[in-house]
Amino acid sequence: MERVRHQPETRDRSPQRGAAQAELVETRLFLISPLRLHGHDKAYGKEVSKLKAALVTGATRGAGRAIAVALAMAGWRTYALGRDRAVLDEMRAGCGVQPLAMDLTDRDDLRVIAGDMRLDALIHAPLRWPQEGRFVDLREADIDMALEVNLSATLHLTHAILPSMIAARSGHIVLISPGVSPDRSLVRATVGSAVAAFADGLRSEFASSGVTVQTLDPGMPPFEGMAQSLVKSLGGRD
């Protein structure tokens, strides 16, 4: 198992459906313009189609934020997905990420962005957990949230993005997830095991597709060193 420490649904292509999708992207996902999904950034007045493109989930804090910033600083066109619009504004001003303000559990939004993006790298780093404590003290809502955000959304978004990578015969999928060890909470350890199994399955099923898959335990903060190492391993401009 490669572990590093430190067919989608048919889409309606009619003009009416396309216009509705563009409106949804512009109004619900906090993008300045849906044209950014197709290689041009009008706000900055520059051609960006020659840049490699990455989507980072969980990008407003922790390991996800460090990775998104490192990618943008290295010259990637970086779509930073997270729930905190103020942080996304700050990141856009500081390093030029493309902000996507949304919740990973909103599958309608996920379908829109997955259908419009052509990515070189998909990096899952949600890492949203309930308060630490004994498993028996967790609420049902805590368990559901941990599984939905850290596991289910990872599967759904990968399922939506992977076909375009296979068609291009290139791409990187990176799953940021806690390792399995006695000091992990039961929920984190369970999710970590499931994500590792998912990565193993992807590697086995798509071994000859040109798409690479890896899991990465971010370790403890600060995360900047881990992020820099990951970005270096992914490469940069074409």
Dist. CA 94–CA 124, nearest whole Å: 22
Q: For 94-152, what is each residue's pLDDT tens digit?
A: 999 999 999 988 888 888 888 778 999 999 999 888 887 789 999 999 999 999 999 99
* pLDDT score recorded for residue 148: 95
DSSP H stretches of helix in the chain: 15-28, 62-73, 85-95, 107-116, 140-147, 153-168, 186-205, 224-234
Dist. CA 97–CA 90, nearest whole Å: 9
Residues 6+ apart with CB under 8 A from 132: 185
Domain boundaries, the chain: 3-232
- Domain 3-232 CATH class label: alpha beta
Listed as ranges, residues in the chain with pLDDT below 50 are 1-2, 5, 7-46, 48
* pLDDT score recorded for residue 171: 97
